[in-house]
Every structure is written in C-alpha cells, then in structure tokens.
Structure 1
Amino acid sequence: MSRWIQLINLSGIYTSPPFSIPIEADGVISKVSWDADTPEGSSIVVQTRYTTDGYNWSEWRNCTNNGQIPEVNEDMSLYNLQLVFRVLFNSSSYDTSPKFKNIAFDFEPVIVFNNDGDKICNPEIWITKVENGDFSIVNLSHNNDEFKFASLVNNETVYVNNETQDIQTSLAVTYRYKDFNDNYLSFPIGKNVLKINGKADIKFRYQFKFA
C-alpha cells in the first residue's frame, strides 16, 4: 500500500543535507521544534539521525515537537557532531495537503558531574570571568539549585572552597561575600547536570567521600 500511495503522489520525503552543530561540549540540553499544517487526513513525521565521524550514522529516530532531539542529551559529547533531519509527508486524499513551514534546533551546553562517592560532594572551584557580569551554576538535576555571583569583573578569578565556605578574589581590597547568594555548591550522590550562566573559565577540585 505504501508504494502505491507514493506512486500516486500522496506521500513524500524531504531530507536535509548534513549540518554541523556550532558547539563543543561534553553534553547538552537539546530541543527540536517545527511549525506545520496538517489538515484532517494528512500527517507529518520529523526524524533525525547523527554522526560523530562523518561516516557512521545512527538510525533514524522519530522526533516530538518541542521535545528533545533523540539521543542528543547531557550524556553525549558534541565534538564533531553532525545532524540530518527528514520530513515524511502523508495524505489520504488529493484534497488534503500537509505543509511544513520551518524547523529549529536548540542546544544548551551543560556539565555533568558524577558524584561517585557515598556522601555529598562540596568541591573547590576557580572562576575566571570572561567579560563583566554575573555568573551562576544551576543544578538541573536537583531542584534548579543555584550558586551565583553578581557583578564579577573581566579577568577576575574567584576561588570558592565550598566545604569551608571560604571565598577569595584576585582583585585587591575586594570582598565577594556581598555579591554571592550564599548558596555554596553541594553535589548530591549520582548525576548532577549543571547549567552555566555567564562567560567564564572554570576549574573544579574535589575528592569523593565514602562512608
């Protein structure tokens, strides 16, 4: 039946050329969304697949509008990632015709911190700010818990020992306690998906704790 429908032009496929993702990250929060008209008796299916070496491609996976791009998540490295999407059109009659208008892909880099210990981890962190402005780390895995500094200065380095609650800055005669939201980093056992707000180079030092 599907072959016969194709012969009488009641179904079709559009396949995009491969395109690179302009992000390098250890993982991302991804989203795909599109705008289409599907009158009664017609349908549109959007699918994606990916490669990380330019040769070996994943299987086609069905997408959900405004949902995550299949298999592209916080556990997937985005170095050299390429995507392809295709749109499957179907109609039961010449009187109904689906229309595909546009599609958008969104990517937000994240850091995944796996606490492999038996207790909460309170790491040391060095934050070297890039451009003036605020900086924060939001733990998406644990109630969007936020660690935040306001009004940091370009090239300033802030050191925080989250265990002892000590804060130091590379700026002379400056104290950053007043610019901190007083919510020190605390990583529960297991996976912690961290969203970074603000431009900065960051470095962690930590030791897992065991019972």
Structure 2
Amino acid sequence: MMSDQPAGETQTLVEAALRVLNTADPLEKAHLGDLFASQWLEGSAAIVRPYDPSVHLTVPDRPARLSNVQLVAPGHMPKLGKAGSLQSRQAIVHSLAHTESWAIDLSWDIIARFGKQEAMPKDFFTDFVKVAQDEGRHFTLLAARLEELGSYYGSLPVHDGLWDSAMATSNHLLARLAVEHCVHERTRCASHNSLTIPEWG
C-alpha cells in the first residue's frame, strides 16, 4: 500500500488528483483518494488550494492501471449471466468493480483536467471530490465482496469503453459532464455493453 502523505507536506488539489491518477493499483487509488478527499473536505492545511494558476501540470491521457488486468474489445466480453451460479456472481461483481475503478479516475481526472482550465469555482472541486471519495469506497467494497466470493479484481477480462468515451470529451467540460453523469450511470448496470459517443471536435 502506498504510504500516506508525509507530515507537513502541502499540495494543491490538482496535484493530489494527479497523484491518484498516476497510481496504478485501484485499492491504492481508493486509499489515496479517500485521504485527499477527507483533507479537502475537512479544510486541512495539507491541501492549500484547488490549483496554482502559475503552474502548468500535465494530465495523463490515460491513468496508470494494473498491467495484469486483461483487456479485450467491448464486443468480445464474455456474458455475465444472471447470477444463478457462483461464476456468474463473480463475473457481475467483477464487472461492477471495474466500472467503479474507472469512476475513481474519471472523478479525479475532471478535477485535474478542467478545474484550472475552466477556472471553476470551489464548489465544483468539492462536488467532484465527494464523488471521487464515494467511488473509491464503492470499489473497495466490491473488491472485498469479490474476495468473499473466492475471486479478485483482475481475475477476469475487462474492457475500457468507459475511458475511451471520456477521452472523446477531453477538451469539452460540458460533454465530459454528460459522460460522467449519464454514460457512467448507465454502465453501472450494464458495464459489459459497448458504449459509443460521437467525437467532440
């Protein structure tokens, strides 16, 4: 597990978001995200402000992810079944956990990618910090449930259609908000389906 933020260290919220995005293990992402979210929401001196307007920070096109998770094309995903067997229940929970792992990244990415760029107010940052914290907790619970079912995150193939859709809106905040609140919510219940949205030029 990645160590917590050193005592006395300060950073902006965007810097904290980038630390989460650059962490590969989703449990570590969730842990760091929960820590940073709590610091921001509690007004801790560890996170001094949303961003430094004089500093340019590069947001990765793709967050760090575990290399041992098998990726397949959305159309090649195996059927999840209807939870009538242990294997089907494992597949459904694994699919939901994968969706939540991307939800963590989506929430921190919108903070890092658009917060400074669009000069968003503090409430924007606070809203998405709360979302990010919730998504991290959801992933942690689902990962624990997978272990109870005798499996683990990464045991089954996944697809990254959700992130591909998000990248199609990487230059448009309003379009990204539609992905965050509409496409993502849809995929909570159908994360195995292929999602296609138009390019935003």
TM-score normalised according to structure 1 size: 0.21
> Which structure is higher in strand share?
1
> Which structure is higher in helix share?
2
Larger radius of gyration: 1
